[in-house]
A and B are shown apart, each in its own frame.
Chain A
Amino acid sequence: DTGVSQNPRHKITKRGQNVTFRCDPISEHNRLYWYRQTLGQGPEFLTYFQNEAQLEKSRLLSDRFSAERPKGSFSTLEIQRTEQGDSAMYLCASSRQGVFTEAFFGQGTRLTVV
């Protein structure tokens, strides 16, 4: 396994369009996280899955955002009616379940809304 994989790496979209990102976690990891990082800031937590269950969502995740992990493997993050403020790096991370669960990050998807 080569680590957490995210696609696409870059996405440019016009304001008002919908976009979808995909994250493939490390295969034996049942926890999956989405973070958003804007320029010059640290990553901010968006949401977290354990297997297929979405267990926590940040208030940053507005109604235009939806995340799924239908079979407890890969996950998708969709943004509807994109706004310029959505421009950011979207990072996915995965970890095992357990007492000590270090998260490993993917390369991220950089979204630019024009």
Chain B
Amino acid sequence: ELKVEQNPLFLSMQEGKNYTIYCNYSTTSDRLYWYRQDPGKSLESLFVLLSNGAVKQEGRLMASLDTKARLSTLHITAAVHDLSATYFCAVEPGAQKLVFGQGTRLTINP
């Protein structure tokens, strides 16, 4: 059974700092996704990573994928309060469905 593990599960950081969220998965996957979810809201797609070595950046967020290590990272640069949310990674193991991690609840303090 495919497992997706994120760490940390909770992250409290100060504005202006950098940090990384890690996403490990247990079996081969075609694609990896990062989503953002605000409280009580649905999922907003951030990045889709399609191949080994893929790197994508949008604003203060950068995602990368290492398929050999079965690891993706979401790096936050110079955090701002607006980035406070829960971040999920999800893997699509070729079965037309997504398997999600537990989520990382990020709180950015002024």
Contacts and interface: CB of A to CB of B under 8 A. Distances in A.
B95 A42 contact: no
A25 interface: no
Contacts of B100: 42-44
Given A55-B96, A102-B48, A103-B98, A42 B42 contact: no
Given A56-B97, A100-B50, A106 B42 contact: yes
A43 B98 contact: yes
Nearest to B31: A100
Contacts of B25: none
Given A41-B102, A42-B88, A42-B102, A107 B96 contact: no
A33 interface: yes
B43 interface: yes
Contacts of A40: 102-103
Given A31-B96, A41-B102, 4 more contacts: A43-B100, A55-B96, A105-B42, A107-B41
Interface of B: 4, 31, 33, 35, 40-43, 45, 48, 50, 88, 90, 95-103
Interface of A: 31, 33, 35, 40-45, 48, 50, 55-56, 91, 100-108, 110
